[in-house]
Amino acid sequence: MPIPPSKYVSNVWKQGIFDGRVVFVTGGAGTICSAQTRALVHLGADACIIGRNQQKTEDAAKDIATARKGAKVIGIGGCDVRNPESLVKAAERCVKELGAIDFVIAGAAGNFVAPISSLTSNGFKTVMEIDVLGTYNTVKATIPYLIESAARNKTNQNGLTGGRIIYVSATFHYTGMPMQAHVMAAKASIDSIMASVALEYGPYGVTSNVIAPGGIEGTEGLERLSSSQMDIKTASAGIPLGRFGTIRDIADASVYLFSDAGNYVTGEVLVVDGADWRNKGVGVGLDIDMKYPDYLFKGEFSKHVKTGRKEKPKL
């Protein structure tokens, strides 16, 4: 049964604003990226989502396709963003089957809670490779198609757009966050890649922006960072807007940047976190009785966070 649109996109957007457009999404089976994709499909786009787990990715594609009658959504599993050839082939298949790549969402990411004292070099490297190398490989594989799309839409008078890329980042590196050194390094790099693409490909008409979510309720990312023993109301009390974000908040931000309303926005980081980062952010990996810096001296963090270990991909 289709998910009600109100769960993943606001009703302020005009139906059909992405008619005939194609979005290519890495990490597209994840809770945030699937909502971004679903919103775009609901508003007229077709989509190609990429993931490591073949069954999960294909199932997610079928589910996202229910967002609009007649929508075409391809799920390409067994694709590792760390492998540039894998992404090139996925992009080629997307264009062959759907006709183009107009939008890209670089959303594949890895995360887990770990203080530097127990963070291995391999663990640090893995997050850097998935987030940073994966983002770079995504740009390299899709930028020729984005240039073509930007050229097709250069003088478009009907409000349709193309040649746009969004990277899903985070806010930890703005002020610093204990037990997230690996993620801060990775996301700071993604922000830098975004800026380089904006400068190098802006003259071709391509826009390049980051969306930096805060804690998004009901997502795997939040499960990996917050204790399951923590009460939601208590955990979100320090956020200026008094709540965690929703997947719709991120999807709406994506629609804005890809729509005609965002046609002169590029090289920017759009933070969607209720001003949490300005209040130093909700701590990660903590139970309610854990206070800074005591838990660091004790070498402790919550045992009630979801593990970062993933199942081996099913090919």
d(Cα 41, Cα 46) in Å, to the nearest integer? 6
d(Cα 294, Cα 297) in Å, to the nearest integer? 5
At 158 the pLDDT is 80
Confidence of residue 179 (pLDDT cuts 50, 70, 90): confident
At 156 the pLDDT is 65
- Tracing tokens 């009460």 back to the chain, one arrives at 231
At 296 the pLDDT is 76
At 230 the pLDDT is 61
Which residues fall within 8 angstroms of residue 53, CB to CB, at 6 or more apart? 29, 77, 311, 313, 314
Tens digits of residue pLDDT in 4-19: 999 999 999 999 999 9
Tens digits of residue pLDDT in 22-73: 999 999 999 999 999 999 999 999 999 999 999 999 999 999 999 999 999 9
Which amino acid, one-letter code, is at 137? N
At 216 the pLDDT is 86
- The active-site residue, picked from 169, 189, 236, 302, is 169
**Selected residue with higher pLDDT from 315 and 219:** 219
Q: Compute the average pLDDT of residues 289-310.
A: 70
At 315 the pLDDT is 39
25: which strand partners? 49, 105
d(Cα 279, Cα 123) in Å, to the nearest integer? 29
Mean pLDDT score of the chain, rounded to an integer? 90
Which amino acid, one-letter code, is at 12? V
Q: Compute the average pLDDT of residues 211-226.
A: 74
d(Cα 89, Cα 25) in Å, to the nearest integer? 14
Give the closest residue to 134 by CA, choosing from 87, 82, 85, 90.
82
Would you say residue 175 has pLDDT above 60?
yes
> Model's pTM, two decimal places?
0.90
Would you say residue 177 has pLDDT above 50?
yes
Which amino acid, one-letter code, is at 265? V
Q: Compute the average pLDDT of residues 115-135.
A: 95
At 281 the pLDDT is 63
Can you spell out the DSSP letters for the chain? -PPPGGGTS-TTSPTTTTTT-EEEEETTTSHHHHHHHHHHHHTT-EEEEE-S-HHHHHHHHHHHGGGSTT--EEEE-S--TT-HHHHHHHHHHHHHHHS---EEEE---------GGG--HHHHHHHHIIIIIHHHHHHHHHHHHHHHHHHHTTT--SS----EEEEE--SHHHH--TT-HHHHHHHHHHHHHHHHHHHHHGGGT-EEEEEEE--BTT-HHHHHHS-TTS-HHHHTTTSTTSS-B-HHHHHHHHHHHHSGGGTT--S-EEEESTTGGGGT---SS--TT--TTHHHHHT---S-S-----PPP--
- The active-site residue, picked from 34, 187, 227, 302, is 187
117 labelled catalytic: no
Tens digits of residue pLDDT in 79-122: 999 999 999 999 999 999 999 999 999 999 988 888 999 999 99
At 313 the pLDDT is 46
140 labelled catalytic: no
The percent of residues in the chain predicted with pLDDT above 70, rounded, is 89
Residue ranges and CATH numbers for the domains of the chain are: 15-298 (3.40.50.720)
Lowest mean pLDDT among 139-153, 193-207, 217-231, 244-258: 217-231
Would you say residue 126 has pLDDT above 90?
yes
At 222 the pLDDT is 59
